[in-house]
Amino acid sequence: MSIVDRIRQARPQGFPWAAPTWPDTVDRPLPERELGADYPTSWSRRYPARLVRAILLDNVTRPLAHLVASPEVRGAEILDLVQAPAIFVANHTSHVDTPLLLSVLPLRFRHRTVVAAAADHFFDRKWKAHLWALVLAAVPIERHKVNRRSAEETAALLADDWNLVIFPEGGRSPDGWFQDFRGGAAFLSVRTGRPVVPIHLEGTWRILAKGGARFRRSQTRVTFGTPLLPLEGEDARRFGLRIEAAVAILADEGRTDWWTARRNAAAGTTPSGQGPAASAWRRSWALGPAPESKAASDPGHWAIRDD
């Protein structure tokens, strides 16, 4: 027997000199995950992180978003009627949507808002999870299955006076038109009683489309709609259809005007936000040109009051 073998035999065996064994009759618990929907974001809502985020949002994100997107904001005065916390629901065509939307919110909402982000995309790596939780106050949401923890966490945040931005399509549109809305926002509103503010974002897909590598400046338009609340006895499914219809009306308003969009809504002839059933080039053409900015002729047209 070699000297090495003799030393190994002479070494004390078992715990605490070696790792303990797990009893065969006891189920081993699954290891705790710290990514995806299980990533803890509470640290990002503490004062130090909030201060850093406020500085970045007001001094970096907001100026850059306005430089790149030149947003025309419609219906901002409606937010004066909204009692926080609120659920902001918007269509989703680009990664530009989130910073642009946050940048045009008034101060009383801007620094007290979290963003529902896809757990499998924004929280699949530690560095990404840390970054988006800090910069956007993002919270992970499962978009491919129902996750009770995600629903409970977002409901708790609303109860704690945090506003919520959610994109109910579950991901960016590939061509600028709507995808089917999912029921998360409607469910949260029914559960918490908080108002839903429908928002239509127009033109952001021209800046950075899904799957595109080209980044370019373009005019955009952000239209806020009248806040919605679930009717007595209305379930989340029906309320979700009303929310989707409200965003479609705002899209119609962008293509026409306020009066025409409301007349179409009253007649039940609002064009589908999902666009024509046609080839890709035809659908792209039907979106029309980029929104015309009025900033040159009226510099204060889209200015948002910080009060």
Q: What is the pLDDT of residue 272?
A: 74
- pLDDT of 293 above 80: no
* Phi and psi angles of residue 205, each rounded to the nearest 5 degrees, phi first: -65, -25
Pairing state between β 138-141 and 220-224 = unpaired
Average pLDDT over residues 12-21: 60
Task: Kindly state whether residue 185 falls inside one of the protein's structural domains.
Answer: yes
Q: How many domains does the chain have?
A: 1
3 belongs to a structural domain: no
What CATH code is carried by the domain that includes residue 120? Answer: 3.40.1130.10
Alpha helices in the chain (DSSP H): 3-10, 47-56, 62-69, 97-104, 107-110, 119-122, 126-136, 148-159, 184-192, 204-207, 236-255, 258-267, 280-286
The pLDDT tens digits for 61-98 are 999 999 999 999 999 999 998 999 999 999 999 999 99
pLDDT digits (tens, 9 = 90+) for 142-182: 876 666 778 889 999 999 999 999 999 888 887 777 888 88
**Is 307 within the bounds of a domain?**
no
Q: What is the pTM of this model?
A: 0.81
**The tokens of 80 are what?**
């004066």
Listed range (123-132, 238-247, 282-291) with the worst mean pLDDT: 282-291
Residue 69 lies in a domain: yes
Asked whether residue 28 is assigned to any structural domain, the reply reads: no
Contacts of 176 (CB under 8 A, 6+ apart): 93, 205, 209, 275, 283, 284, 287
Average pLDDT, the chain: 84
On whether residue 293 sits in a domain, the answer given is: no
For the chain, what percent of residues have pLDDT higher than 90?
56
From CA 136, how far away is CA 50, in angstroms rounded? 10
Which pLDDT value is given to residue 187?
A: 92
Q: What is the pLDDT of residue 271?
A: 84
7, part of any domain? no
| pLDDT 10s digits, 177-208 | 788 888 889 999 999 999 999 999 999 988 98
